[in-house]
Amino acid sequence: MRTPRTAVGGQDAIMHAAQQLARMNNMQTPLMGGEGPEIHPEEFAGVTPKPQVAATPNPLAAAMTPGRAGSGGLPGPTPLRMGSGGGLAIAGVSATPSIAGTPMRTAGHPGATPMRTPIRDALGLNEMDPSVLDSVRGTKGAFRGELRAGLQGLPAPQNEYAFAAPELPEDVEAGAGEQIEEDAADAKARRLREADAAAAAEEARKSAALRRKLPRPVSLEQLPATRPLNELRALPYAARAEDALAGELLALLQHDAAKYPIGKPSQKKKGARKGDTGAVGVEGPPLAQYEVLELAAAAQLVAAEAATVKTAMGHDGVDASEYNDAWSAVNADVVWLPSKGVYGRAASATNSERLDSARADFEGVRAEMEREAQRAAKLEKKVGLVCGGLSARDAKLREQLAELAESAGTAGVELACFRALAEAERRSAPERMEALMAAVDRQREREGELQQRYKLLSRERDDLREALIAAVTANGVAA
């Protein structure tokens, strides 16, 4: 059977467009706020608006499914299915079959003609047929029963846990301690210790002149060179030993001059150690590397040899200060001779050579003074640039400090004056109080006397007034 259609009339499209235009003309600007009129979209397919005809509303649209045919079912917009008694069913509710337009009743499924298709209401907003509601409740109850039976068939939970640690091979267990990663702080401390140990070992391998910061020769060109091998064969063993010692000394000086060159502090490269006498340069001539113990043993041998030489020369009781004094006296006798370009003894130099030496020393000192003056000027300029703001602030703060000191001095003087005034007031207060009390007593006595006089005068006035009245009365009676 078909769902009856409700007759709904169409709408005048021209009137609808006119109403839309009137709403748009009467609406206010969006800046005023509030809600605007409801505007419906229009279709402009032609010159005139397209007429719209409302379709028949179908209350069963939400419950519709594709129609099925067969087994007595009728295809159409309303889903049909057969009931248990052979009748048609609409949305799960049996309908009364009709033959030749006559209503019929099917056993077990009574119905009426026509029958309204029930609406599917998922939210339960509308009232449902009691029979449909009973069937839905029965279906939900059956589903719950099946779910409960299925859950009851599940095994009971067990809170028992078992852990099985994997077995490691023997080689992994033996080397487990070696595979632990070192901590970053421990690694940094270890590297610092290694660097300090390396620096201490390098310091111990330096020559005595570098360790003790003794003066070294600036140029090595004037040092004696070693003799060739064919000449050494003809020399005695003592001369050979001296030549070998001179060669070792020359190699050591060349190595120190190349690796630690002599220079001014401004010429030192970055990375030079604090105890170095010069800037760190390139590696010098290769030297034989000895262990620290071997160097210590060699130092002991040299000390023993020096003690033997001192004993042989009779210098056992000579102190180190005496050696320093002797060296200072010899060094003072050595002067630079510009004419010869060498150092010589002042006693053997002529007067002109001494004068030239003194003039050269003076020029050297003046040149050094000029360099230091230029350096000082640069430093002062740099200090002015770096500390200019601080100097200005210092001057401003000094002015403020002077003003505060002056204000503090003035305040101190005022405080002393006020303290002196307070002390004078404290001392003169009793005398002032006595004078004021005496004045008050005199005033009180004077007021007493005046009150008494006022009383007498008032009484005399009253007597005179009474006498005057009596006299006037007497004169009136006599007349």
Read off the pLDDT band of 122 (50, 70, 90): low
Whether residues 277 and 220 fall in one domain: yes
Q: What is the mean pLDDT of residues 81-94?
A: 44
In a domain, 118, yes or no: no
Give per-residue pLDDT as tens, 246-268. 888 888 888 888 888 876 444 44
Q: What is the pLDDT of residues 182-224, one digit of tens each?
A: 888 989 999 999 999 988 888 888 888 888 888 888 777 767 7
What are 320's two structure tokens? Answer: 């180190």
CA nearest to 4, candidates 114, 87, 105: 114
Q: How far is CA 385 from CA 108, 259, 339, 371, 391, in A?
A: 114, 38, 46, 21, 10
Residue 384 is encoded by which pair of tokens?
């002015």
* Residue with the larger pLDDT of the pair 383 and 6: 383
Question: Where does a domain end: 348, 369, 386?
Answer: 386
| Structural domain includes residue 249 | yes
Q: Shortest CA distance to 259 belongs to which of 248, 251, 295? A: 251
pLDDT at residue 251, as a whole number: 85
Per the domain annotation, does 248 fall within a domain?
yes
- pLDDT of 444 reads 93
Rounded Cα gap, residues 359 and 350, in angstroms: 14
Asked if residues 343 and 337 have their Cβ atoms less than 8 Å apart, the reply is yes
Q: Is residue 273 part of a domain?
A: yes
Q: Which of 53, 75, 95 is the last residue of a domain?
A: 53
Is residue 307 a part of any domain in this protein?
no
- With beta carbons less than 8 A apart as the criterion, state whether 65 and 89 touch: no
Q: Extract the tokens encoding 89.
A: 């069913």
The verdict on 273 and 340 lying in the same domain is: no
Asked if residue 272 and residue 204 are part of one domain, the reply reads: yes
432 in any annotated domain = no
Confidence (pTM): 0.34
**Residue 414 in tokens:** 């005022």
Co-location of 345 and 275 in the same domain? no
- Number of domains composing the chain: 3
In a domain, 95, yes or no: no
- pLDDT value at 237 more than 70: yes
Range of the domain at 43: 1-53
338/283 same-domain check: no
pLDDT at residue 44, rounded to an integer: 60
